[in-house]
Structure 1
Amino acid sequence: MAVNSFREDEQQAQVSKWKTLTRLYRYLLAYKSRIAVVLLIMLATISINMINPLIVEQAVNVHIANRDMKGLLLLGLAAVVLNLIMVAGVKARMIMMAKLSNQVLLTIREELYVHIQKLSFSFFDSRPTGKILARIIGDVNSLKDMLSDSVTTLIPDFLTVIGVITIMMAKNVKLALAALLTLPFMAAGMFVIQRVSHKAWQVYRKKSSNISAFVHEEMSGMRIVQSFRAEQESRDNFDVLLKEHRQSWNKSVRCADLFGSLIELTWGAGGFLLYYIGIKVIGVGEIGIGTFMAFSTYLAMFWSPIRNLANFYNKIVTNLAGAERIFDILDTEPEIRDKSGVGELPDIQGSVEFDRVSFAYSDEPETKVLKDVSFQIRPGETIALVGPTGAGKTTIVNLISRFYNVTEGHIRVDGYDLGDVSIRSLRRQMGVMTQDNFLFSGTVKDNIRYGRLDATDEEIVAAAKAVNAHGFIMQLEKGYDTELSERGQSLSVGQRQLLAFARTMVSNPRILILDEATSSIDTHTEILVQKGIQALLKGRTSFVIAHRLSTIKNADRIFVINHGRIEEAGSHEELLAAKGQYYELYQAQFRSLTSA
């Protein structure tokens, strides 16, 4: 299976910017009423802002020219009141949009998290956890300012530009055209810059993701790093990633800075053309002083929102890469999902049938992990799977749990094809315990109850007693209410395994899967566990994978798996008498134990 490590940039499909933007803005449309209120407030503030130059023109051309001090004072008072209203409105819209954008981010993050939970194991197998975290946290956070500014900057500044152009054209077409002559050059420059800048920011996001993946991996494996004195090597790798990250950031920022330089250049040229044409071509005599002052103000009012719009466009180019990475995951279809019209799997007895089952990973379809496997298991049977590493043992139990879909053939439980029943109704009746005994932060009780969230305290204690975990739990500081650290690092490996076993047992499954479930338990503890689970295994169909053959001697049948096929099947005594592969495995282990 192809794996993307922290050393490699992630690959994703190229999608048009417009499609990504429209999809992103659909989240805002879910809050139409609140956006409408913000827009009304903005309309009022923009209108007041538009009136200000007209107030200046009125003051100069009328009241000051006619020495009307009373009228000038009244006009000034009206201007103060209007601008106080405008300031209050701007503050209110900023607060409202900040809350709204945070709500949208929450919605996107929840949707992303829920979708990731539905994705198949192959998704998680093919990339580091840190790269997934980077999308859930960093990429989602990058959208906040863009979403907020879409309403608080884009709309008011766009309306301001339209309003200013309208007023300028109405007052003097020649002066307005003079001020706008540089716009086509600015648009062409922005088009070129954004193409380069967007690619640079895409690279930056990927480099940030690489760092997240590396840090997560190193922190998770810090015991190994320190045990093998690999701190310097780890630091060297981190320095390489930081250098790539810094270089991608510098390139992206340099591209982004070109937007500001372009705006300043075209603004200055537009101002020069306004004064040059106004003075040299039209003539000062044809334009009133107040009108010229108003035009100068409108020129600033025109280019200021243009600069804001350019900055917003720059922000879109900067953060659109984050949105693309989010939608890339949301567009990833789960390989394992219910097909249309599936039914619920009723309470089962536990029979399992493999009918000519073959399996290959989706990215390596030519390499079959299982090849034409067939068998039938009766309810309540205990089946042991043995064989060399990579033979296909874990693949068999993963297919029963439907963590992967079969490539060929059929798997049936109580006669129901797994593809015809819902995944949830299947897994509700299964208990799976692997050699990776993952424990969550929380209490001991919480971790056991994870097997069945409605389990009572009495059922939790009963499950713990059944696997002989109750004794060591009661010796902890607060017993079942003891808080565990991340991954249960405060417990021994054996204790973590016993808790994981109790968690599986409390779910009361009809089909039980134990994949190297006792590999980390010492011999004394294993004896206690084996005694405890015998009663729980009774009446349940169980699949047990174990390298220690002594632990599966009492299985009803033993399947010897090799090269993706069942090469031997029978009881412990039958397989020893056949003197085949199982006999050789057993003798090899026996000799190693006696020589030790």
Structure 2
Amino acid sequence: MANERRRMGGRGQMPVEKAKDFKGSIGKLFAYMKQYHAAVAVVILCAIASTVFSVIGPDILGKATTELSNGLLAKIQGTGSIDFTKIGQILLFVLGLYLLSTLFSFVQGWLMTGVTQKVCYRMRKDISEKIDRMPMAYFESRTYGEVLSRITNDVDTLGQSLNQSITQIITSVATMVGVLVMMLRISPLMTLIAVVILPISVTLISLVVKKSQKYFKQQQEYLGHINGQVEETYAGHTVIQAYNKEKDMVQQFQETNDTLYHSAWKSQFLSGLMQPIMMFVGNLGYAAVALSGGLLAIRGTITIGDIQAFIQYVKNFTQPMQQIAQVLNQVQSMAAASERVFEFLEEAEEVQTAEHPLELANVEGNVDFQHVSFGYQPEQCVIHDFSAKVKSGQKIAIVGPTGAGKTTMVKLLMRFYDVSGGAILLDGHDVRDFDRHKLRESFGMVLQDTWLFQGTIMENIRYGRLDATDEEVIAAAKAAHADSFIRQLPDGYQMELNEDASNVSQGQKQLLTIARAILADNRVMILDEATSSVDTRTEILIQKAMDHLMEGRTSFIIAHRLSTIRNADMILVMKDGDIIEQGTHEELLERNGFYADLYRSQFAQTA
């Protein structure tokens, strides 16, 4: 969150993230919006029309003031009276102009909001579909928050900026041009006086911005630090209390908070000076315009109504400049967000389908590893020469120390990665000849890290096969030895799991994932450390569920607890990316090699 706040910027003149390629990012965004170009063109025309009618208003209103002043003067002199009919006609005409301006403004706002939301909807849809086509390597090299921010923060930033910036820039530029034309039409001299005041305002504001920028940067930096400290403290409060570090943490927080206070105070104070400076300079402009206008009116060069209109135009001339300055930050944010979104959409995709993909009507589950080699990086080989032949229905255990390459073999089998050398065959066919989605339909997985979503227990188990009936779901739960504990929970199968499924225990979560795998009924099962994070009693229960799950299926079991794989048909012992031993549990113990040492060391630890 802290990083996102730093990236997004904030109030006043806080720095915003800038795009590396501003022009290219904006170009890609408008190319992406190609189907909405006609609507955007109508928006531009409506914005210009709204501005034109709004700009003409003060000039026409000035004529009413002139008519009123002339009528008053004539009445005083006894030569005439105030023509209220004409003044009423002028006012009605001005009212009509402003109503038209409002109507065009409403239409452009309505159209632009629709275009923006459609673009955001399409972007979220494209990103969501892109995620399904991305290789596993992309997600393993980035945090979840980074990917999530593309869908949430970046698209939201882009949408808000797009909705406001385009119409605001068009309106502001059109207003400035229109007002300048009207001011020159009334009095070139007064226009020169009004324009000369602007550089003074710009210079003063530039000085304030330059002075405040470092404090805003420091404020954002320490806002991130303080959020990080609070998050760490709450997450690890048990450890902090256990080691009596409360005072140290409070002191550390106080130091960071003190720095944040001083930088925030200075940045906000300097930012607060901008409005008074603008008002002061603006008032100088009004005074100069009023003085010069009065002199010109005395000479009969301009009318009183022209002075009134001109003062309104001076205000309307400086306001668009402020708006453009604010919008430029939004455009920078929009370009940066656009760049991040398109970077993601242009990432290399996983090749899903072979040129002529194979489809097997019935997968038997014979797996053959033929001299497999692989490295996540070309120069770093993780698997050197892995060979093993697995028959349908066999239970294969893969054991070895951390980093031996056990989980990597599973990722290769399911084609989350492709082998660098050798081949993996399923029923005699290279797995690279299958469509990835079709291939993965043959595999079921139960992992150490259970994944359950917010929903009922029934829905979580049914995720294994969405067309399963309630009876089939309950039968799968019974086979996984989960039915008894489910019925004891409030609402049973209809109990709602919370966001992180913390309202059931770790062992119960694992039984639910096994029930899901049983319901899916895949021919090849992969169990990766499925019992490593539960107690011994729950492990026995899970082991029974796993035994039922593996019946008649080819199974690959990755386990650190060697007691759980004694009955495996074959145990592959891996070390440094190679199979150094293979055989049954009894055969490997008789050889008195690496597996025997590993097995004895575990029982020595538990003795």
Q: Which TM-score applies when normalising by structure 1?
A: 0.80
Partner of 2:54: 49
Q: Given the alignment of the two structures, is residue 568 of structure 1 paired with residue 573 of structure 2, yes or no?
A: no
Tell me the distance in 2 between the aligned counterparts of 1:403 and 1:210: 37
Match of 1:500 in 2: 513
1:490 counterpart = 2:503:
yes
Amino acid at match of 1:346: L
Aligned equivalent of 1:71, options 79, 86, 108: 86
Q: CA deviation at 1:522?
A: 4.6
Distance 1:211 1:419 in 2: 49
Alpha-carbon contact 1:431-1:507 (below 8 Å) kept: yes
| Matched-pair contact (CA < 8 Å) for 2:393–2:551 | yes
Residues 236/358 of structure 1: CA separation in 2 closer, same or farther (3 Å cut): farther
Give SS of 1:380's match.
Answer: coil
SS in 1 for 2:516: helix
Q: Which position in structure 1 is the counterpart of 2:78? A: none
Structure 2 residue 397 is the aligned partner of structure 1 residue 384:
yes
Equivalent residue, structure 1, for 2:12: none
2:306 is aligned, of 273, 286, 291, to: 291
Mean alpha-carbon deviation: is it higher for 538-547 or for 440-449?
Answer: 538-547
Evaluate the alpha carbon distance shift between residue 221 and residue 404 of structure 1 in structure 2; reply closer, same or farther with a 3 A threshold: farther
Quick one: which of 490, 493, 497 aligns to 1:480?
A: 493
Could you say what secondary structure the match of 1:142 adopts?
helix
Structure 1 stretch 455-464 or stretch 400-409: which is displaced more? 400-409
Amino acid across the alignment from 1:574: E
Q: Does 1:338 align with 2:352?
A: yes
> Hey, what's the Cα distance between the residues in 1 that align with 2:3 and 2:247?
18
User: What residue is the counterpart of 1:582 in the other structure?
Assistant: 595
Give the unaligned 5+ runs of structure 1: none
Residue 510 of structure 1 pairs with residue 529 of structure 2: no
Task: Return closer, same or farther for 1:142/1:255 CA change in 2, 3 Å cut-off.
Answer: farther
| Further displaced range: 477-486 or 205-214 | 205-214
Q: In the alignment, is the contact (CA less than 8 A) between 1:130 and 1:209 conserved in 2?
A: no
Partner of 1:20: 25
Note the C-alpha offset of 1:111: 3.8
Cα 1:153–1:14 change in 2 (3 A) is closer
Corresponding residue SS for 1:153: helix
Larger mean Cα displacement after TM superposition, 283-292 or 197-206: 197-206
What is the CA–CA distance in structure 1 between the aligned matches of 2:451 and 2:135, rounded to whole Å? 18
Q: Deviations over 1:82-141 (max 9, x none)?
A: 434544654565466556545544444444444445444444444544454455434443
CA distance, structure 2, for counterparts of residue 248 and residue 512 of structure 1: 58
Q: Which residue of 2 aligns with 1:443?
A: 456
> Separation in 2 of the partners of 1:367 and 1:358?
11
Q: Given residue 446 of structure 1, which amino acid in structure 2 is its aligned partner?
A: E
CA deviation map 1:537-574 (0-9, x unaligned): 24422110112222212222111011121111122232
Q: 1:315 — aligned with what?
A: 330
Q: Does 1:360 align with 2:375?
A: yes
What are the superposed Cα offsets for residues 303-330 of structure 1, whole Å, 9 maximum, x if unpaired?
2222222221233345655555444544
Contact preservation (8 Å) 1:197, 1:318: no
3-state SS of 1:491 partner: coil
State the number of aligned residues. 586
Which piece of structure 1 moves more, 458-467 or 201-210?
A: 201-210
Structure 1: how far apart are the matches of 2:380 and 2:18? 26
Corresponding residue of 2:79: none
**Distance (Å, rounded) in 2 between the aligned partners of 1:109 and 1:255:** 39
Question: Secondary structure, in 3 states, of the residue corresponding to 1:474?
Answer: helix
Aligned to 2:320: 305
8 A contact 1:259–1:311 mirrored in 2: no
Per-residue deviation at 1:455? 2.4
Q: Is 2:387 the counterpart of 1:374?
A: yes
Q: How does 1:68-467 map to 2 (within 5 A)?
A: 68-87=83-102, 90=105, 93-94=108-109, 97-98=112-113, 101-170=116-185, 172-173=187-188, 175-176=190-191, 179-180=194-195, 284-317=299-332, 320-334=335-349, 336-338=350-352, 341=355, 343=357, 345-347=359-361, 348-362=363-377, 365-467=378-480
The whole-number CA distance in structure 1 between the counterparts of 2:26 and 2:264 is 23
1:136-179: CA deviation from partner (whole Å, max 9, x where unpaired): 43444334542221244222222222222333445555554554
- Once residues 437 and 399 of structure 2 are traced to their aligned partners in structure 1, the CA distance between those partners, rounded to angstroms, is 29
Over the aligned positions, Cα root-mean-square deviation in angstroms equals: 4.5
Q: Is the 8 A contact 1:6 1:210 kept in 2?
A: no
Task: Provide structure 2 residue ranges, at least 5 long, that are not aligned to the other structure.
Answer: 8-16, 72-81
Conservation of the 8 A alpha-carbon contact between 2:371 and 2:386: yes
- For residue 358 of structure 1, give the secondary structure of its aligned residue in structure 2: strand
Separation in structure 1 between the aligned mates of residue 32 and residue 213 of structure 2, nearest angstrom: 23
Contact 1:131/1:210 (CA < 8 Å) preserved in 2?
A: no
Q: Would you say the 8 A contact 2:296–2:302 is kept in 1?
A: no
Q: Supply the distance in 1 between the matched residues of 2:67 and 2:365 (Cα, whole angstroms).
A: 95
Distance 2:434 2:210 in 1: 48
Q: CA deviation at 1:301?
A: 2.2
What is aligned with 2:74?
none
Q: Secondary structure at the match of 2:393?
A: coil
CA deviations over 1:459-518 (Å, ceiling 9, x no partner): 222222222112222222222112122332222222111111111222211221001112
Taking the aligned partners of 1:288 and 1:274, their CA distance within structure 2 comes to 14
